[in-house]
Amino acid sequence: MAVDYAVIVVYLAGMLAVGWWGMRRARSKSDFLVAGRRLGPFMYSGTMAAIVLGGASTIGGVGLGYQYGLSGAWLVFTIGFGLLALSLFFSARISRLRVYTVSQMLDLRYGGSSGLISGLVMWAYTLMLAVTSTIAYATIFDVVLGLDRIPAIVLGGAVVIAYSTLGGMWSITLTDMVQFVVKSIGVLLLLLPIAVHRAGGLDGMREQLPDDYFSPMNIGVQTVFTYVLIYSFGMLIGQDIWQRVFTARSDTVARRGGTVAGTYCLVYALAGAVIGTAAKVLYPKLDSPDAAFATLVDDALPVGVKGLVLAAALSAVMSTSSGALIACATVANNDIWARLRARVAGVPAESGDAAGDEVKGNRVFILVMGVATVVISILLNDVVEALTVAYNLLVGGLLVPILGGLVWKRGTAGGALAAVAVGGLTVLGTMIWKGVLANEPIYYGLLASLVTHVVVSLAQRPTDPAVLDTWRRRLAGEDTTAGPWERAEEGAPARTAP
């Protein structure tokens, strides 16, 4: 077991070292928040796959495979489908906007006024995403080091906060690439074949399990439909995902690199479900499906390999945790704090500090949001309900205004604001009525948001033609001047990443 400990310790130390090295590259706000918008296809694909495939996709995906068989892959399938849709249909236009947050995109499209409200919704979503990822450290470190829940959360959270605060998106990108490689080796090349072999191969698994375990819809059609609404659509509008799109050095990189990452997600989804199905054969009476991953690793893998696979699970959790943390801090600083401070001071939200001070300010916000995440993770018990609330509010409140802004010229600022408010309130009301984990909140919330956006927009005057013209030119890449969020960055060296 000492070898496994050594693997984990070396891995954690390596993450901190990469964070320290990345600090030297974070010289401007653009460097710190979006890696200077200079990622090439290789790094972009790896970091995008790392951010979307977290603990829920790895530990949770194996758990769903344990519970439902191969149809347990649908959760991660829908994440992959959402990433493919984003990459093929929207990423090029999003990349050309040259903004930092989803709320800034809404300001550009609708002429301002919706950023603060949408920022609050996005902040709640990214904070809960960071919290749920942080809590997952408890499961992993319990297996690795035998740590209790609170020390495990503090240890994992401290490492992520450290490297994220030091170098921002550069550090997170570099650590994500390491995590992507470790995750691919640990899950796809080691755990998958070992688990299937120990379970007697695919034929042996079929002999020992009911036929339902090999049915593509054993998990339920309605469940799959709900996964599509929440996770596929969530991939289209989440700040954590968009912030990675903003790192691409061109719209071509965003489109092609994202397509590669989405395809990788589909492979990862199937692998997790197969591993979970094999675990069902080997350990048919586990207390919880989510224990399947840790049990299989602890019991089935040899010394050394066990440490690497646990490092892979840690990689999955850390990549999502760090991505959610920087997204949460970016929204808190740029969409909420900057706007509130500007209103008090009576100046535009985009005016402010010099580039160095902006890096310092965003670094402080990552530290503050990171500490808040660890504290909430220690206090919070029902993580599934918290994440469900966050995703329901995100999709129910923001999907229609965001996608409507990208595809419907007649949408107005009033329609967008009303859609956010009505969709969000409908989701909350339905969750109180039907229960937090019910399927209906997202159905009713999306429908109410769509109807409200269309009706209010058609009842108002169209958006100012000057606003739409600026929006059109930015989408088309014709407006190459730096936007209001890009000041003090043009002098940065034009470094690119593979």
User: Is residue 489 over pLDDT 60?
Assistant: no
Quick one: pLDDT at residue 334?
87
Quick one: pLDDT at residue 491?
43
Contact 349, 342 (CB under 8 A): yes
- Kindly report the pTM of this predicted structure: 0.87
**Nearest partner of 488 among 169, 28, 17, judged by Cα:** 28
Given pLDDT bands bounded at 50, 70 and 90, which one contains residue 384? low
- Rounded mean pLDDT of 111-122? 78
Q: Which residues contact 344 (CB under 8 A, 6 or more apart)?
A: none
pLDDT tens digits along 400-432: 999 998 889 999 999 999 999 999 999 999 999
User: Is residue 113 over pLDDT 70?
Assistant: no
Token code pair at residue 360:
């310092």
User: Is residue 484 over pLDDT 60?
Assistant: no
Token code pair at residue 476:
């088309």
Burial degree of 483 (CB within 10 A; 0-12, 13-18, 19+) = middle
Dist. CA 67–CA 61, nearest whole Å: 10
Query: Mean pLDDT of all residues in the chain?
Result: 86
| Residue in this structure with the two tokens 């790896």, named with its chain if needed | 46
Paired residues of 248 in beta bridges: 39
User: Is residue 480 over pLDDT 80?
Assistant: no
One-letter amino acid for residue 120 of the chain? L
Dist. CA 271–CA 273, nearest whole Å: 5
pLDDT tens digits along 148-172: 888 988 988 999 999 899 888 888 8
Quick one: pLDDT at residue 382?
61
Quick one: pLDDT at residue 198?
93
The secondary structure of 172-226 as a DSSP string is HHHHHHHHHHHHIIIIIIIIHHHHHHHTTHHHHHHHHS-GGGG-TTTT-HHHHHH
Dist. CA 366–CA 354, nearest whole Å: 18
User: Is residue 259 over pLDDT 60?
Assistant: yes
70 or 8, which is more confident? 70
Dist. CA 27–CA 317, nearest whole Å: 27
